[in-house]
Chain A
Amino acid sequence: MTQWGMVMDLKRCIGCQACTVACMQENSVPRGVRWTETVSEEIGTYPNVTRAYVPLICNHCEEPPCERVCPTTATYITAEGIVLVDDKKCIGCGACITACPYKNRMKLKAEPFKKGLYELGILTPFEQQGYPRFTIGTAVKCTFCHERVAKGLVPACVNTCVAKARIFGDLDDPNSEVRKLISSRKGYQPLAELNTKPKVFYVD
C-alpha cells in the first residue's frame, strides 16, 4: 500500500519561500495562514557564521496526536497515509492544534475572509474562487495536495521548489527516491522522540 512521504534536503534549501507561495496559491489559504513555510536559523558566531533553512510542513504522522485527541473524529488518516480534516465534522475546539507537536495546524478566523488579502474589505477574483472551500472556525492544515496527488501529480510545494529540496514519494516502495535518500543519507524525523512517526524526513 502506498504511503506518501516527503524528504527535505537541508543542503539544497535556499530559503526562497517559493514553496510557501506555491502552497498559498494552490490552496487559496487566507492571509495569516501558512500550511508550509521555510524558517531560518543562524548557526555559529562571527566570523564563522552561516544561516540554515528548515522547510516545515505537516508531517502526516503515522500516529498523529491531532487525530487521537479530536473529539469529533474530524481528523482522519487516508489509506495512503495522508492526515486530513473533515471540515463538516470539525467543531473548532482547537484540541488538535494544541496536540500537534509541530504547530502545523491553525484555526480559520473570520476576519481574513471579510477583509481579504489586501485588507480593503474586497475579495479578489482569486479569493472569491478559493474561499468557498473553507469553513470559518474549523481547523486547517496541509493536505499534501491530495487532489493533485490523486491525479498523479506532486504537491505544489514540491513542484515549485527551484532547488529540488523537497522530494515526494512512496515510503513503502524500496525503490522510490524518498526511500533511497532516507537510507543513503541517514534521514531523520522531526522530534522523533515523541513517537508520532512523522512521514516527513530530513537529510543533511
Chain B
Amino acid sequence: MTSKTYDIIGSELKLGYRRQDAWGWKIAIAFFFGDVGAGSFFISAFYDFMPGMVLGWILTTFFKPAALLMHLGQPWRFWRAVTNLKSAWISRGVLGAVLFGGFGFAHMVNLHYHILPAFLGAIIFFLAMAGCFIVMIYLGYVLSHSPALTLWNTGLMPVISLTYGLMGGVTMTILMGYNGFLAENLATLKFLKGAEILLIAGTFVMLLSLLHGAAYHSDSGKVSVMMLLKGEYSEYFLRYVVAVGLIGTGLLAYFGPVQIVVLLVIAIAELIGDLGLKILLFKAAVYAPPLPHSRI
C-alpha cells in the first residue's frame, strides 16, 4: 500500500478529496433562523415573555421555511418532506417545525387571551416546547447522518446545534427583556447572564472537541479541520466564529457592564459566530477519495 497525500479537487478526473457542494448559504441561513428562533421562543416561554416568543416564532415559521424553499429544487413539493419519519431527520425536523408552528401560536394566543382551561393550556405548552426542541436539535442529526463527511458525522453535532440555539435564545431574551420584564427582576437577569456565560463556555469546549475528534478520526476530517484552522477558511473561522462569536461574547458577557449597548454588541457578535459556523461547516466538509491509496 502506498502512503500518499491527496489534493482537494473539483470536477477534474483525478482521485482526491472532493468538496461538499450540495448545501450552501441558503441552508445555513435557514438553520440559523431555526436555531435562533426556536432558542428565543424556548427561553422566553419559561418567563411568559411575549416579544421573545413572537420573534422566535416568526423567525422559525416564516424566515426559516423561506430560506429552505429557496434551496429546494422542487419547492412546490415541500409537503412531501414529512413522509419518511422512519429514518430521515429532515422529516422529523419538519414535523417538529409544524408542531412548533401550530402549538406555539396557540400557546401565545392562549397566554394573551386566557381562553383555554389550565390543563389544556399546559398540554399545548408542552407540545409547542417539544416541537421547539426538535427544531433546535434536528440540524445536528441531519448533518451527523452523512457517514463520509467526518466533520459532520459526530454525535456532538446535535449538542452543538442545541447549545447554539439556547445561546442565541438566552442572548435575545436578555437583549429584548432588559428594558422589560428583566428590569424588575434582577435575580432572573443574573441567572440568564450566568446561563449565557456557561453556554458560551460549553459551546467553546464542544467546538474544540468537534475539531479534535474530526482531525484524529480520518484523513478527510483532518483536511476539513486544517481548512478551518490553517487553510482557506481559517481567517473567517478564527476571526468570526472563535474570536468574535465565542471569546468576544464570553469576555463581554462576563466582564462587560449590563447596558443595552453592550447587550446589543453581545447579541450581534454571537449571531455572527453562529451564522459563520453554519456556513463554514458546509464549506469545509470534504469527501474522502473513494478508493484511497491504490494498491496497483
Contact residues of A with B, CB < 8 Å? 10-11, 17, 32, 37-41, 43-44, 50, 52, 54, 56, 65, 68-74, 89-95, 97-103, 107-108, 135-139, 190-191, 194-196, 202, 204
Per DSSP, chain B at the interface is loop
> In the bound complex, what is the Cα–Cα distance between A111 and B289 (angstroms)?
28
Q: Which of A38, A71, A100, A107 contacts B84 (CB 8 A)?
A: A71
Q: Which of B27, B81, B294 contacts A43 (CB 8 A)?
A: B294
Query: Are A44 and B2 CB-contacts (below 8 A) given A99-B146, A137-B74?
Result: yes
B50 at the interface (CB under 8 A from A): no
Contact residues of B with A, CB < 8 Å? 2, 4, 11, 13-15, 18, 20, 22-23, 27, 71-75, 77-78, 80-84, 87-91, 94, 142, 145-149, 152, 285, 287-288, 290-291, 294-296
Query: Are A108 and B73 CB-contacts (below 8 A) given A70-B88, A71-B90?
Result: yes
Q: How far is the CB of B90 from chain A (nearest CB, A)?
A: 4
B23 and A98 contacting across the interface, CB-CB below 8 Å: yes
A107 and B4 contacting across the interface, CB-CB below 8 Å: no
Q: Which of A52, A89, A202 contacts B80 (CB 8 A)?
A: A89
B13 and A191 contacting across the interface, CB-CB below 8 Å: no
Q: Which of A43, A92, A95, A196 contacts B74 (CB 8 A)?
A: A92
- 12 A–B pairs (Cβ distance < 8 Å), ordered by A: A43-B4, A52-B294, A71-B80, A73-B83, A95-B88, A95-B142, A95-B145, A98-B149, A98-B152, A102-B290, A103-B290, A191-B290
Query: Which 3 pairs between the two chains have the least Cβ-Cβ distance?
Result: A92-B73, A137-B73, A101-B148
A71 and B81 contacting across the interface, CB-CB below 8 Å: yes
B80 and A204 contacting across the interface, CB-CB below 8 Å: no
Q: How many A-B residue pairs have CB under 8 A?
A: 141
> In the bound complex, what is the Cα–Cα distance between A136 and B22 (angstroms)?
15
Across the interface, name the chain B residue whose C-beta is closest to A72: B80
Given contacts A95-B142, A99-B146, 5 further A-B contacts (CB under 8 A): A56-B290, A69-B142, A69-B146, A71-B91, A101-B287
> In the bound complex, what is the Cα–Cα distance between A74 and B288 (angstroms)?
26
> In the bound complex, what is the Cα–Cα distance between A138 and B74 (angstroms)?
7
Q: Which residues of A contact B147 (CB under 8 A)?
A: 65, 99, 101, 194-196
Q: How far is the CB of A156 from chain B (nearest CB, A)?
A: 19
Q: Which residues of A contact B152 (CB under 8 A)?
A: 98
Query: Are A91 and B291 CB-contacts (below 8 A) given A50-B296, A52-B296, A98-B146?
Result: no
> In the bound complex, what is the Cα–Cα distance between A98 and B88 (angstroms)?
13
Q: How far is the CB of B72 from chain A (nearest CB, A)?
A: 5
Q: Which of B18, B82, B83, B296 contacts A10 (CB 8 A)?
A: B296
A40 and B14 contacting across the interface, CB-CB below 8 Å: yes
Q: Which of A70, A91, A97 contacts B22 (CB 8 A)?
A: A97
Q: Which residues of A contact B4 (CB under 8 A)?
A: 43
Q: Which residues of A contact B149 (CB under 8 A)?
A: 98
